[in-house]
Amino acid sequence: MTTSRRLAAIFVADVAGYSRLMSVDEEGTLNRLKAHRQELLDPKIEERRGRIVKTTGDGLLVEFASVVDAVRCAVEVQRGMVDRDVDLPEDCRIRFRIGINLADVIAEGADIFGDGVNIASRLEALAEPGGLCISGTVHDHIGNRLPYLFGDLGERDLKNIARPVHAYSFSTAAIASLPPVFVQKPRKAATDRARQRRTVAHRSAPHLSIVVLPFTNLSGDPEQEYFADAITDDLTTDLSRIQDSFVISRNTAFTYKGKPFHVKRLGRELGVRYVLEGSVRRHAEQVQLNVQLIDAATGAHVWADRFDTYRVDLSKSQNEITSGLANTLHFQLVEAVGRKVDKQYPVNLNARDLLARGWAWFYRPVSAAQLQEAERTFEQALEMDPASVDARAGLATTLLSARVVGVGSWYPSRCEQLLLEALERDSNHVRSLLALGWLRRLQDQHLESRIMLEKAIALDPNLTPAMVQLGFTLLYLGDPKAALRHFQKAIALSPRDPNQHWFHNGLGICHLVMGDLDQAIECLMKARASNPRIYEFPLWLAAAFGLKGESESAIEALVDFHELQPGLTSIAKLRASRDSSWFFDSIPQAAAIVTGLRLAGLPET
């Protein structure tokens, strides 16, 4: 699915104190909220030519072509709410907060994204219950077109927004002083169209869309309550860094804390395809974390796992657990999305479906067939959407992987062109930075490779493939000790990575060139066990056994190597081979490995 940009007035509304209202009277709150939507909000939005982009359990996101219409609609909704719920005590009434911003947004299908949407959401949080808050841009554009007097809140620092935003408020008291509003009854055809738009919006929810529900504390220990909430917060943040992900905000997720829910209904309300839930339980000094990933459309469990730590290590373990969980979930989500695309849309795939399928193929264990299928799928996605940054990054990354494992032909100029075009469109596109850093190392531009990879990691601190590539780059720069730390961190963050053989391979090479032969052998054997089809693993093992003087094991490793690469029967042929010359020409400590291969019995010529 193609993306585009357009200027829009963004209207975000949320129910003030929704969790408290639900805890007091869940059924009554839901019924009254539904009535307010049907009798006031939706008709007013339609009257002022707004489009409901999405709804959550307690709020909604609306797009207007006119900023004047957006502000007028907000004021009229809030004035209409003054005359509703009047038979209830003040603390039991439903009251909305509304935030409005005017900005350039990214549109994909029925959804809109970008900083402009985020700013509107942050402004909503500044509004009084029953009031609204607008940005300075909105205030400047409406000028004297509307008879409303806004209070100046000055420059405000908003969470996760780089620059302060000038804000203006319209208070609850000022709104209450306005004349009553008239609400037009919605026409049936218009209502049907609105319902159809909401249905389409749900169907077109991003493939990697998820809500992280608050983890349940099963131990009754308040200390684990804080830990459970912190895990939920950190996971929400870490998952939001995944490219193309759509993660429901923490504030909305926490409205479901401690309440029963129906997974399918929750998925429809929040517009997500997956739900993550979990629990924390303490047994003596041990703390156990259980997690489940659920398909919101079917209610089926996609994946489940358990993590254990000790109470004294809670604060130390928190980052490790959440980062590791985020990486594991990334792969599980990508694989689940790929299976769903194959099952639901086997023939009529759009570009977004093809991207999901391409990444699902790419993240499977490396093989010639797997890489060829990923390449073919990304080529189709790019053909269908020639402007796609993600398709360029996916195709280039697949070509790079094929180069490393010796599959197909190598076209570095095509790979470079794809990545430069992608970064020209989005200079902070993490996957493109990762792939370009990888390519620059293969081109012997090691310092530029390091810069690109460090930038990718700065943008996504949990990007384990970038850590692995940076580890190899540091090896090429002659710093195996620094490289070692990156491989170790990648293994810690993604212990179930389907391609973790590359992690152990890098770690093994570091130990090998540093002379730590026992550790090198252990790591390289893990790499070979994880994927016995990669020819270089038994080659490095032969060198390690040769240096250690274990000739029988060295010979066995060479036999395994020659079964995978029967033509590379000497050190000279290794140096001349396209697939292995890069190692001997680039790594400063390669001489020690050559010595090991000689001792293992590999002839010079």
Residue 574: the pLDDT is 84
Mean pLDDT is lowest, of 117-126, 222-231, 299-308, for 222-231
Given a contact cutoff of 8 angstroms between Cβ atoms, the answer to whether 458 and 475 are in contact is no
Q: How confident is the model at residue 214 (pLDDT cuts 50, 70, 90)?
A: confident
Q: Higher confidence at residue 216 or residue 519?
A: 519
Residues 80, 166: one domain?
A: yes
Chain-wide mean pLDDT for the chain?
82
Is residue 415 within a helix (H) or strand (E), and if so which, with residue range? helix 412-425
Domain boundary among 344, 372, 393: 344
86 contact partners, CB below 8 Å, separation of at least 6: none
Residue carrying the six token digits 């540093």? 514
Residues 155, 224: one domain?
A: no
Q: What is the CATH number of the domain that holds 299?
A: 3.40.50.10610
Residue 258: the pLDDT is 79
Residue 332: the pLDDT is 62
Q: What is the CATH number of the domain that holds 76?
A: 3.30.70.1230
Residue 346: the pLDDT is 43
Residue 207: the pLDDT is 66
Structural domain range at position 588: 530-605
88 contact partners, CB below 8 Å, separation of at least 6: none
What DSSP character marks residue 257? T
Domain assignment present for 431? no
Query: What average pLDDT does this structure show over 18-44?
Result: 88
Is the pLDDT reported for residue 364 higher than 50?
yes
Query: What average pLDDT does this structure show over 444-462?
Result: 89
Query: What average pLDDT does this structure show over 445-469?
Result: 89
Residues 198, 238: one domain?
A: no
Strand partners, 113: 106
Looking at residue 509, its amino acid is I
Residues 165, 254: one domain?
A: no
161 contact partners, CB below 8 Å, separation of at least 6: 115, 118, 119, 122
Domain boundary among 148, 169, 203: 203
Residues 219, 197: one domain?
A: no
Residue 194: the pLDDT is 46
Q: How confident is the model at residue 15 (pLDDT cuts 50, 70, 90)?
A: very high
Q: Higher confidence at residue 238 or residue 412?
A: 412
Dist. CA 554–CA 539, nearest whole Å: 9
Domain assignment present for 225? yes
Query: What average pLDDT does this structure show over 305-314?
Result: 64
Query: What average pLDDT does this structure show over 300-304?
Result: 76
Dist. CA 457–CA 480, nearest whole Å: 19
Residues 140, 73: one domain?
A: yes
Domain assignment present for 370? no
Strands 165-170 and 151-156: antiparallel
Q: How confident is the model at residue 278 (pLDDT cuts 50, 70, 90)?
A: confident
Is the pLDDT reported for residue 334 higher than 70?
no
Q: How confident is the model at residue 270 (pLDDT cuts 50, 70, 90)?
A: confident
Q: Higher confidence at residue 219 or residue 433?
A: 433
Residue 580: the pLDDT is 59
Residue 402: the pLDDT is 87
Strands (E), 418-493: none
Is the pLDDT reported for residue 593 higher than 70?
yes
Domain assignment present for 87? yes
Query: What average pLDDT does this structure show over 212-235?
Result: 75
Domain assignment present for 390? no
Is the pLDDT reported for residue 21 higher than 50?
yes
Domain assignment present for 44? yes
Q: Higher confidence at residue 255 or residue 468?
A: 468
- Specify the long-range contacts of residues 253-256, CB closer than 8 Å, at least 24 apart: 253/211, 253/212, 253/213, 253/214, 254/19, 254/214, 255/18, 255/19, 255/22, 255/57, 255/58, 256/57, 256/213, 256/214
Residue 190: the pLDDT is 45
Dist. CA 163–CA 529, nearest whole Å: 50
pLDDT in tens, 537-588: 999 999 999 999 999 999 999 999 999 889 889 988 888 875 555 566 666 7
Residue 198: the pLDDT is 43
**Other beta carbons less than 10 A from residue 193's beta carbon:** 12
Residues 227, 90: one domain?
A: no
Domain assignment present for 324? yes
pLDDT in tens, 472-504: 999 989 899 999 999 998 887 676 677 788 899
**Other beta carbons less than 10 A from residue 417's beta carbon:** 13
SS3 154: strand
Of 202, 507, 516, 244, the C-alpha closest to 360 is 244
pLDDT in tens, 128-168: 999 999 999 999 888 877 888 899 999 999 888 888 999 99
Residue carrying the six token digits 């935003």? 165
Residue 516: the pLDDT is 94
pLDDT in tens, 407-445: 767 778 899 999 999 999 888 888 899 999 999 998 889
Query: What average pLDDT does this structure show over 174-186?
Result: 76
Residue 189: the pLDDT is 44
Residues 109, 235: one domain?
A: no
Domain assignment present for 357? no
What is the count of structural domains for the chain?
3
The two three-digit tokens of residue 174, written as one number:
């000022």
